[in-house]
């Protein structure tokens, strides 16, 4: 949490601004991109070494964002290495550290799916942190979406109206003691605020999710620290290991200090929560 805030502030104060990814030549472009990542490593992971993550962590991303407001990413951890947490960095976003995902004792961290806003052409880095604190990174290049797509969705009244509503779906079969995949959906505008318009004086303050904390029968599963990079109405697919039937509990806190808590009975978890 502290780290997310601190880093967001640094980025907002213009840590080199957004590096131009449309540089004049492919060489310049590649140089600008690796320069940007070097800069981000120093800011996000000061004094730490990052090794090549091949074999430790995989990042799946579309080569071109179809929708700037909603780009699906899948993070896979195929190895036996004990991975404590994963950082997702969208290098050229206004707030590059898009999310920090910390796995708990009841987690099955092998597959994690999230949806993020992607503002422009950018490298995206997934960084795994093992239990000894060593870091492993992989990267993907994502082309910006074209046309009328924008990082701010066009229909966010519905999320505001249903603020805090959640749905949980099991996407694989439940068996006690076996890992299971679940999809969590949260109604939240996750809104980055608007600039004051001189003519209309319209302005809306930012309103976004800071943390999502998921437990199963009080055992930690997943903790997410994020900010405006998370899409409107975030949807997160994650794995956990339920030793028996029980209660999956989700706590969400946002930038207005609101919190939303929902509990779902597992496996009977397909119904949506009521407010």
Partner 1 sequence: MRGLSLISRRHAVLGGFCLCCAPGLSRGADERNFFETTEIARGIHIRRGVDEIASVQNEGAIANIGFIVGQDSVAVLDSGGSLNDGERLRRSIMNLTDLPIRYVLMSHVHPDHIFGAGAFLQDKPAFVAHAQLPHALAQRGEYYRERLEEVLGRGNVGPIVQPTMLVSDRMQIELGGRSLELRAHPVAHTSSDLSVADSQTGTLFPSDLLFVGRAPSLDGSLKGWLRELSKLGSIHAKQQAVPGHGPASVNFASAASKLKQYLETLLRETRQAIANGVDIATAPETVAQSERKNWTLFDEYHGHNVTQAYKELEWE
Give the shortest CB-226-to-partner 1 separation in angstroms: 18
H/E stretch holding 79 reads none
Smallest distance from the beta carbon of 125 to partner 1, in angstroms?
A: 19
Q: Which residue's CB is nearer to partner 1, number 78 or number 146? A: 146
Residue numbers of the site for partner 1 (CB under 8 A)?
Answer: 18, 20, 22-24, 28, 60, 62, 66-67, 70, 72, 74, 113, 115, 119-120, 144-152, 154-155, 157, 167, 171, 185, 187, 194-195, 197, 199-200, 202-204, 231, 233, 235, 237
- By beta-carbon proximity to partner 1, the closer residue of 135 and 186 is 186
Task: Report in angstroms how near the CB of residue 19 gets to partner 1 at its nearest.
Answer: 8
Would you state the structure tokens that stand for residue 66, as one six-digit string?
């179809």
For residue 128, the minimal CB distance to partner 1 (Å) is 21
Pairing of strands 50-52, 135-142: parallel
The rounded Cα 241 to chain-centroid distance in angstroms is 21
Minimum gap (Å) between residue 148 Cβ and partner 1: 4
Instruction: Name which of 117 and 223 has its Cβ closer to partner 1.
Output: 117
What lies within 8 Å, CB to CB, of 37 at 6+ separation is 91, 123, 125, 139
Q: Which of 235, 267, 250, 227 is nearest to 73 (CA)?
A: 235
Do residues 124 and 73 lie in contact, with contact meaning Cβ atoms separated by under 8 Å?
yes
224: nearest Cα among 211, 233, 239: 211
Q: 6 — phi, psi (to 5°)?
A: -60, -45
Calpha distance 172→180 (Å, rounded): 6
Residue among 20 and 50 whose Cβ is closer to partner 1? 20
Residue 118 beta carbon to partner 1: minimum distance, rounded to whole angstroms = 12
Our CB check for partner 1 shows the closer of 119 and 215 to be: 119
Q: Which of these, 140, 142, 139, 111, lies nearest to 53 by C-alpha position? A: 139
Cβ-based nearer residue to partner 1, 195 or 274: 195
């Amino acid at each position: 949490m502290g780290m997310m805030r601190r880093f967001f502030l640094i980025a907002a104060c213009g840590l080199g601004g957004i590096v131009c990814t449309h540089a004049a030549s492919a060489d310049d472009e590649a140089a600008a991109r690796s320069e940007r990542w070097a800069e981000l490593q120093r800011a996000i992971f000061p004094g730490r070494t990052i090794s090549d993550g091949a074999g430790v962590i995989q990042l799946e991303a579309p080569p071109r964002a179809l929708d700037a407001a909603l780009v699906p990413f899948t993070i896979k951890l195929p190895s036996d290495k004990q991975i404590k947490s994963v950082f997702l960095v969208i290098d050229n976003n206004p707030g590059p550290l898009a999310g920090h995902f910390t796995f708990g004792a009841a987690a099955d961290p092998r597959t994690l799916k999230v949806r993020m806003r992607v503002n422009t052409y950018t490298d995206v880095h997934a960084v795994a942190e093992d239990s000894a604190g060593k870091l492993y990174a992989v990267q993907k290049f994502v082309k910006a979406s074209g046309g009328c797509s924008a990082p701010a969705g066009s229909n966010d009244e519905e999320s505001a109206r249903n603020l805090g509503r959640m749905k949980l779906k099991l996407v694989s079969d439940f068996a006690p003691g076996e890992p299971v995949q679940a999809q969590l959906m949260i109604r939240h505008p996750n809104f980055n605020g608007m600039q004051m318009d001189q003519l209309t004086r319209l302005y809306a303050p930012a309103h976004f999710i800071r943390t999502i904390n998921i437990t199963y029968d009080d055992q930690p599963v997943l903790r997410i620290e994020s900010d405006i990079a998370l899409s409107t109405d975030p949807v997160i697919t994650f794995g956990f290991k339920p030793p028996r039937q029980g209660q999956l509990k989700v706590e969400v806190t946002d930038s207005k200090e609101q919190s939303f808590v929902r509990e779902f009975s597992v496996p009977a978890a397909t119904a949506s929560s009521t407010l």
